[in-house]
Amino acid sequence: MRFLSAIALFALWMVLSASYNVAHVALGAVVAIIVVWLSPKAAPNARRFSLTAAIAYVPWLFIRVLKSGFHVCGLILKPGLPIKPELIKHKTELSSDGELVVLGNSITLTPGTITVEVAAGELIVHAIDPSSQQDLVSGALDRKVGQLFTAKESG
Amino acid sequence: MTWLAIFIIAVGLFFLVVGSIGILRLPDVFSRAHALSLTDSLGAAFVLAGLAVYEGFTVNFLRIVVVLLLVYLMNPVISHATLRAAYRSGLRPSVREEK
Amino acid sequence: MNSFLVFVLFTLTALMLVYLYRVVRGPSVFDRVLGLNGISTKAIVLLVVLGSMFERVDMFVDISTGYALLNLVGALAIAKFLEERGAARE
């Protein structure tokens, strides 16, 4: 796992760097290894992030963002400004930090809903009108985020 | 390829313009954040994606994708931090009574 | 394509003025912070457009990445500060 993150950091260096001579590439490799070596190890009972689920999650989230984006566009452009903002409390059974981060970021990324406050097991979400709460209240988002993290096996 | 890029950038510009209209029209800070999230997650993303398509499949494509990912990871964090500060310092969204 | 990119540049600048209005006018301090955030998102995009125009994307991407990271740290610091102080005075 740490080996993979070193590879990822090195790939980022290669993409951003503009010069590919030996000195720069070697410097990148050394820096990637040092950064991974200095960064703290994951907690032993941490849940693992599953890459395949993430690849399926991103397009799903993007389609959702696009749909609610057009919805919010309609709301803004209508002459009467038909918004009904309210704060809703969203109970969730996701509890680990990683899951809460992904859930909160996904909610905020979607136009129409924004995470205002996060506590363990409860999020306060500001929704601009009732129909943009649909996905959240029905729990579809929670289930998707829950699938992203699997219990940790060895390694 | 160029026309595809122009189309994608135009879609992004549309979202950017609507987001700006929203930030003028919407009544309070919580609703304005919705307009901002429209601008960020759709407008900027489409414009950057269009530029990436215009660059074609070179290393510049990957560079623009890195910026795109950065915008996607960063902006929700900033909106959330700002709104949390607003919420904790006692601001509440205005609720309209009309049904 | 180049003239279209110039058009995009001008549109982005005009939209930044709209956000600037919100920053100057904004009733609460949080409106101002949100407006600044919107301006810097547009500045990031504008830098990449500029790079595409001059065909030096490799250089301008670095600038916009640095700008984005500075903006993140700055906005988080402002939010943290306002959270502790509260918005008693506006």
Tell me which residue in B48, B70, B85 faces C30 most closely, judged by beta carbons: B85
CB-CB under 8 Å, B55 with C8: no
One domain, residues A27 and A65: no
Can you give the pLDDT at residue A43? 64
**Tens-digit pLDDT profile for residues A23-47:** 888 998 999 999 888 887 766 666 6
One domain, residues A6 and A80: no
**Tens-digit pLDDT profile for residues A72-92:** 888 888 887 777 777 888 887
Can you give the pLDDT at residue A153? 46
Is A72 inside a domain boundary?
yes
**Tens-digit pLDDT profile for residues B32-70:** 888 888 887 788 889 999 988 888 888 888 888 888 888
Sort B60 into a burial class: Cβ within 10 Å, 0-12 / 13-18 / 19+: buried
One domain, residues A59 and A9: no
pLDDT at C90 over 50: no
Overall average pLDDT of the A48-75 stretch: 83
One domain, residues A13 and A65: no
C58 → chain A, closest CA residue: A18
Share of chain C above pLDDT 90, in %: 21
Range of the domain at A30: 2-38
In whole numbers, what is the pLDDT of chain A averaged over residues?
Answer: 80
In whole numbers, what is the pLDDT of chain C averaged over residues?
Answer: 86
Calculate how close chain A gets to B62, using CA atoms only, in Å.
7
CB-CB under 8 Å, A76 with B35: yes
Overall average pLDDT of the C8-32 stretch: 87
Please name which of A96, A109, A110 lies closest in space to residue A49, comparing C-alpha atoms: A96
**What is the ipTM metric for this complex?**
0.83
Question: How many angstroms from the chain centroid is the CA of residue B1?
Answer: 25
A14 → chain C, closest CA residue: C58
B16 → chain C, closest CA residue: C15
pLDDT category of residue C73 using cuts at 50, 70 and 90: very high
**Tens-digit pLDDT profile for residues A117-129:** 887 778 888 888 7
Q: Are A18 and C58 in contact (CB under 8 A)?
A: yes
One domain, residues A8 and A84: no
Is A155 inside a domain boundary?
no
**How many structural domains are present in chain A?**
2
Is A43 inside a domain boundary?
no
Tell me which residue in A12, A104, A111 faces B34 most closely, judged by beta carbons: A111
